[in-house]
Amino acid sequence: MGFGAHSRLHTAKVLRLSEDLPIVIEIVDSPERIAEFLPELDAMIGEGLVTLERAEILLYRAPKTPRGSAP
């Protein structure tokens, strides 16, 4: 739940179906690739908030078998 730019409360309550719910999209990549993507992101975002933060990877675990392959 959070407040938008117009001070309206956005919430994900089950009984409230809405098109203006808060959403978070996280992208983890190298600083250079993120910098390349920022102009495209700027063109996509009509209104909202974009933050840039450093990520500390604590654990990355890949599947033991490729997706779609039999075990």
Question: Each residue's pLDDT tens digit in the chain (71 positions)?
Answer: 666 666 666 666 655 556 666 788 899 899 999 999 999 999 998 888 889 999 888 998 888 876 666 65
Is the overall model pTM greater than 0.85, yes or no?
no
Give the pLDDT score at 32: 95
Indicate the domain borders of the chain.
23-61
DSSP output for 4-66: -TTS-EE---TT---S-----------HHHHHHHHHHHHHH-SSS---------------SS-
| Neighbouring residues of 55: CB distance < 8 A, sequence distance ≥ 6 | 28
Angle, CA of 66, 28 and 42, to the nearest 5°: 125
The token pair that represents 65 in the structure block: 């078998």
